[in-house]
Structure formats: C-alpha cells, structure tokens
Structure 1
C-alpha cells in the first residue's frame, strides 16, 4: 500500500505507511491518503466477526490495519495493536461497547480509554507506532499539535514515557472546560509542553500548519503531527467502525448507519473510509453544533470557513471548529481523486475563505454515492437531549447529545436510513460537568482515577497568535530537553 497527497505529492515517490506517519502534513500542504482503498467482502467480514469475538479488539485492529501497512511485519503489528488496546488501558479486551437507546438508535461507547474520550482509540495506537518506528530508525520526533479539547490530553497521555518523542500542544486560551484543561496542564514532564494561544482552535491549527509548511524548519527540528492530519489517526478510527458494525449486526450484508458529532471531520471521515472499503454502512449522519461549517457544506455545497470572531464558544467545545482540515480528504474522493482540482478549491479557501461546488454533478450525487446527510444542534438541544436520555438511565456528554439530536430530528423528518443507527460517543460526561449540571441540576459522579485532578498545579505557557513566537518557543524547549 502506497500513499499520495490530496494535492498530488507522492504519486511517483512510492511512500509507505511509516514514511507518512512521521511526516504528518504532506510537503505540498495536502493530506496523505492511500493510493486506493482496499476492499473487504462478506467472507472477510465474517472471519473478522469471529476474530473479534474470540480474540478481542486488538486482534481485529491488526487484521484491518495490515491492509494499509506493508512496511511493518504482521507479527510486530499484532504486538503493537495488542499493546495499544490492552484491557488494562481500556477496561476490557472488548474496548468498545453498545447501549440500546430505543427507537432504532444505539450508543456506540468508544470513550473507555485513559482520558475518557474517543481520541484515545487512535492515540494509544499512534504512541505505539511512533515508538516502534523511531526505535527502528534510531530517530526522535517532536510533535506539534492543536486541540479543541480532547486531542491534546489523549496525545499527551499516549506519548508519556516514550523517550524519543516530545509534544508541544497548542490550546485555545479559555476555550476548554476546566476538566479538559486540568487533564493537560497538570502533566509535569519536560517532554510535554502545553501552550495556550490567544485565539480559537482554528488559530492553533493554522499555526501548526504554518510550521509544518516551513519544510526547512520542519526537517531541522523533526516536527511531526498527532492531529487527524496524520493518516494513522484516521485509519486507527476505521477499526472501531468495523468493530461496531460487527457487534451490531448478525446477518451477512446487513446494512446499518452511523450518527457522528464532528468538528474537524476526522471521526466521520473514518466512517466514510470504512464504507468505501465495502463495510455495509448505509447512511453517515454528520452532526455539528452552532459552528455549522460542515453542515452548511453537506447541505448546500458551499464550504465557507469562519473567522475567529465568527466561531462561537459553545457547550460542546471540542466541535468549536470553523476550518475542518479533513474535509479535504473527502473532497479528494468526491472529485475522483483529482489533485489539481483539490489544489484549486483549497487555494480558493486560502485566498477567499470559500468554495462553491453546488452546481457540480459530483455534489448532486453526494447522498446517493457517499451516504452523507447532516444537521446542526444548539445548546438548548443539548440540554434537552441530555435530560431525555438521563430519564432513560443513560448519561451522555454534550457532543454525543448533538449527534443523537441530529439523528433523531432527521428521522422524524423522514430520513430513510438503515437501522440500527449507532450514535458515536465523543467523551464521558465527567469532562463537561458544568453543562451536565445545567441540564440535570446535579453533579456528575467523578471516577476515582480523576479525583483531585482539577486542584493539581498547572503547567502551561501563554503565547500570542504568532508563528515566529511559536518557532522560538519550540527551539528553546527542544534545546532544554534531557538526552
């Protein structure tokens, strides 16, 4: 399996998986994807169903990932997956589980990892892959990332103790919940550097891309990525779509659907890839909050990024994103993998902040060809959904509530989608205690492993929204690292 950029780089370079996971962003500013998606048939899915039941999630992950990875031996890949998805990390070898919500909806619980967010599903594997490949190359990697809430803590906990890796993680100052901040800022490790940027998540993401686009600086300082611009993040998430499909269905070829709250499009992109592989997924329901860039695009064909001043601070803060990086990967597929067209469209975004493909035949056939529908949710919707589900004995976080609300509304409006619909959980409610308290009038029970977290000392550096200041910080912190 070889990889190419959405903007054309790599078509003749024969890039392998381990090359691109250490690169992150492609040199031409595009995002890496496999040259083609592997296809799985009914017999393969049946064998995976047995494997998942008998040997657990790690075994399934290694079988799925070997379709995309031919530069790590099968035995090593199996070992890395078993380490990443150990019962000691995720509570059981099942790793993911399901809760029936009634009316054809099922909650897909994918937040059982150490930081109580679905991002652990990919980050734990990414930590293992980085460590393996850096040892093999006798190299080091300095990760530069941005987080709107959960990516940062998942990445930092996954990279702790990996002496060949350091992390500089940018956060939008004051935009995360106290619990999210505490998870990150309480870490006291010279290889983990938290930076609070004067701006929104999109500003943080722009800074990461600006540094990654300076190829000389990137090479000199071995800069890598853990955001979902890194292909390994996305392909790791494909696995849980397959696992949830196998655990939800029983008959060969049975179709089902997913509802996915998303801000940067990485989570639902993994569902799109699973569907392209031949997993019988009928409909992909995309849910946003008030920052509805993605909903607008999938409804109208207009992709219009918002300025920081237009990006609302909401009660589902991990989705407070107005520049969805991973939509570029989908647009690449939408237009038949035409790299020149992708360069043109995202060149328009860079210069004008918008592109419009509403009049194209590709957009006209989007629902039929790719299965996407979309909708948006509000703060009042989140509170009402949390209350309604709590009355049934199920407590969800506000992002998950967005997904369930949008799915319920679309079904009420006549959406023809195969049931069951698995609504993906984003995080555990404990991370958003203030909103839960507002919805239910009571505090969330704090799991024992998080007791006292918010009272720990904080380790965070304030930074202006300035790429030169960020580069100077990176150089200074790297120089101070222990050997």
Structure 2
C-alpha cells in the first residue's frame, strides 16, 4: 500500500513513513492510494470473529509491506490487553437502537482503541530505525490521556500533549496531568482546541522543527489512527448484518471528523454500512455545511461535550479530496480559502455527493441534558454528553435500518452533566477515582508556536545533556 498527500505536492510513501511522518511534508494528510475490498466470504467469516481477527483482516492490506503478517499479528495480540472486556467493544441494545460502547480501555474513551495499537507501532518502527521520537499532539479532552496511556514509559518515545487551559472536564485533565512518567509533558494553552491543533500543524509543517525534535503525530492526522478505528465499524456492522440482513446506519458524535471518516472508509471497503450521521453540538460547522453547502468557521463555544468543541475538523480534508474527485489542486484551493477567509463553498456537485453518503444534525446543551435523562429513564443506561448528542441526533434520522450510536466515553468522566440531567452521579470506576487524588504536573503557556517550540527545545537540550 502507498499513501498519497491530500494536497498532491510530495511523493507517495509506504505505511511506515506515513505513520512516522504524521503530516505530509506539503501540509496535507496522507490517504490510502487505493481501498481493498472485503469479499462476501470475508464478511461472512468476520461475523463470528474476535476483534483481533477482524483487525488482522482489515489492517493487513494497509500495512503491507511495512509490516509482515507475523509482525502485525504480534502487535494486535498485545494492543488491547489492558481493556476491561476481552471483546474490546460491546454492542448494547436500546429500545430502538444499538449502543456501540468503545470506552472499555485504560482511559475510558474510544481513542484507546487506536492509540493502544499506535504505541506498539511506534515502538516497532523506532526500534527498526534505532532512534527516538517526540510525539506531539493536541487534545480537546480524550486524545491526550489515551495517547499518554499508549506512550508512557516507552524508552524511545517522548510525548508532549497540548490541551486548552480550563476547557476540558476535570477528569479529562487529571487523566493527563497526574501521569508522572519522565517521558510525558503536558502543556495547557491559553486558548481553545483549534489553537492547539493549529500549532501542532505549524510545527509539523516546519521541516527544521520536525527534524530537530524528531516529531511524530498522535492526533487523527496520523493515518494509523483512522485505519485502526475502521475495525469496530466492520465488526459491529457484520454482526448486525448477520442478524438483520441489511446495511446498518451509524450516528457518530463528531468533532475532528476522524471517527466518522473511519466509518466511511470501512463502508468503501465493503462493510455493510448504510448512512453515516454526523452529530455535532453547538459548534456546528459540519451540520451547517449540510444545510448551506459552505464550510465556515465561527467562534468556539464551550459546551457540556468539550471533545467536540472544534471549528476546524482536520480530517474533513481527507474527505474533501474524495469529494473533489481526487484533485489535489482543488483541495489546496479550498484549504487556502479556509485559512485566509475562514471558509469555502463546496459547490453543487461536491455537496450533492456529500449528502448522498452522510447526514448531519445538531444538539445543544439543553437537548444534551434532556437526552441523558430520557435514555436513563427509558433504557436504564447512563450516557456521557458526547454520546447523548449522537443519541439525540439519531432519533431524527432513524429509518427502518438498524441504527448504531457510538458511545465514545464513559459517563463518569462527566459527572457534573450526568448529575444535572439525572439527579444522581454516575457510578465511578476505581481507576477514575484514583486520578482525582494524584498530584498534577503541567505547565500553562501562551497559545502560540513559539512558546511550544521553547518547551520542545528545553526537552531536547535536557535529553542531550542527560
């Protein structure tokens, strides 16, 4: 498999280079040059397969020849050992839908699924190259703790995570900042997630900084993140396809567009997936896109679902490449307009294509609280605010097809919202209780690349001196 940049101004690369580079040298995002197809025989075989077995089938064509079959299987056997369920994920029936629980990993969020695997991939390639690297990432809440959990204590990795100061939940922050491994650095930026993400992209776009600090990416700009997330779409869709004999719809709480893009790519591979419904909170750039055919940023509004408090959805650029018929010049034109003017119009043809494969809806904080209460009363299930956004939006997009709602975080990570909605706090696992007692370690800095660069320089100097 070869990977091409969405902006088309650098050579195609193999899986190893795409993963270790993160962002393409021209500022674009790596995309598979082709998508292998799952045969009908594959789909039937995978109906009763384990998560690891599904992962091996789905991922093998994307990692070859950078990883051989034995190397991939060895990583997959280890990747999800820390999960509380042997099945990794869990499909929970609701009265009129299904809940795909993705929060049974070490940090109680869906990002553990991909990031536990990514840590092993980094280790393998760094050992092969006999060098170390600095993982630089931005988080709106859950990516940071999941990335740290996947990278902490690894001898050849240093990890630096940027989060928006006072814009995550208490537990989300403390899951990052109470980790005291020597290779972990947490930076709280005086800004929002879009500021954090923009700084990461700026530093990756600077070849001097990238080489001097040995930067690699952990956000969903890293192609491995999106590929790994395809696995649970394939597994859940074939399981329900066996039961219902028809394509399965999915509703996904969406901020940076990586998770729902994974669902789309699984659909392109031939998984029995029907519509993909994008669920946004009041930071509704994606739902407005469906209404107006225009992608236009606005001010970020703090919400009860902070991981979705995003205006610039990085992974949408990967879909943009597809909507533009694989024309990188068109993608560059649209992205330039976004950076210079704050938005761009898709055009009639691209908008029509988008609407054929996706739908979208919006849910504000009042509706989120109402949905948490409704599901709690009707189904006896407690939802976190992000999942509640998707549950509420899904109600407006249900057809005769089975609907799966992605449950992306454990409700105990957002106790304030749950208690406000239901009148009682969620049950808190012991592992989450412990983070409330640990000593925090993080630095508050200004939201600019110069401030982050100074921290990276200090870490680099300290390592050399050591």
Alpha-carbon distance in 1 for matches of 2:375, 2:348: 40
Q: Any runs of at least 4 consecutive aligned residues in structure 1 with deviations exceeding 3 A, and if so which?
A: none
Mapping of residues 77-476 of structure 1, within 5 Å: 77-86=72-81, 89-103=82-96, 105-250=97-242, 254-306=246-298, 310-357=299-346, 359-368=347-356, 371-391=357-377, 392-411=379-398, 417=399, 419-476=401-458
- 1:14 Cα deviation (Å)? 4.3
SS in 2 for 1:66: helix
Q: Residues 42 and 252 of structure 1 are in contact (CA less than 8 Å); yes or no, is this contact kept in structure 2?
A: no
- 1:252 Cα deviation (Å)? 9.3
Alpha-carbon distance in 1 for matches of 2:122, 2:291: 38
Alpha-carbon distance in 1 for matches of 2:112, 2:155: 20
Q: Residues 42 and 253 of structure 1 are in contact (CA less than 8 Å); yes or no, is this contact kept in structure 2?
A: no
Q: Residues 58 and 93 of structure 1 are in contact (CA less than 8 Å); yes or no, is this contact kept in structure 2?
A: no
The equivalent residue for 1:61 is 55
TM-score by length of 2: 0.97
**Root mean square deviation, CA, Å:** 1.4
- 1:269 Cα deviation (Å)? 0.5
- 1:251 Cα deviation (Å)? 6.0
Where structure 2 has 5 or more consecutive residues not aligned to the other structure, the ranges are: none
Q: For residues 154-201 of structure 1, what are the alpha-carbon distances to aligned partners after superposition, in whole Å with 9 as ceiling and x for unaligned?
A: 000110121111111000000011111111110112210000000000
Alpha-carbon distance in 1 for matches of 2:34, 2:196: 31
Which region of structure 1 is more displaced relative to structure 2, 271-280 or 395-404?
A: 271-280
Which region of structure 1 is more displaced relative to structure 2, 246-255 or 222-231?
A: 246-255
Q: For the structure 1 residues 251 and 405, does the alpha-carbon distance in structure 2 shift closer, same or farther, using more than 3 Å as the test?
A: closer
**Aligned residue pairs: how many?**
463
Alpha-carbon distance in 1 for matches of 2:250, 2:375: 18
Q: For residues 421-450 of structure 1, what are the alpha-carbon distances to aligned partners after superposition, in whole Å with 9 as ceiling and x for unaligned?
A: 100011000100110111111122211222
The equivalent residue for 1:414 is none
Alpha-carbon distance in 2 for matches of 1:110, 1:299: 30
Q: For residues 87-113 of structure 1, what are the alpha-carbon distances to aligned partners after superposition, in whole Å with 9 as ceiling and x for unaligned?
A: xx112331111111112x100011110
Q: Residues 79 and 117 of structure 2 are in contact (CA less than 8 Å); yes or no, is this contact kept in structure 1?
A: yes
Q: Residues 171 and 432 of structure 2 are in contact (CA less than 8 Å); yes or no, is this contact kept in structure 1?
A: no
Which region of structure 1 is more displaced relative to structure 2, 170-179 or 472-481?
A: 472-481
SS in 2 for 1:323: coil
Q: Residues 58 and 84 of structure 1 are in contact (CA less than 8 Å); yes or no, is this contact kept in structure 2?
A: no
Alpha-carbon distance in 2 for matches of 1:80, 1:9: 32
- 1:257 Cα deviation (Å)? 0.6
Where structure 1 has 5 or more consecutive residues not aligned to the other structure, the ranges are: 412-416
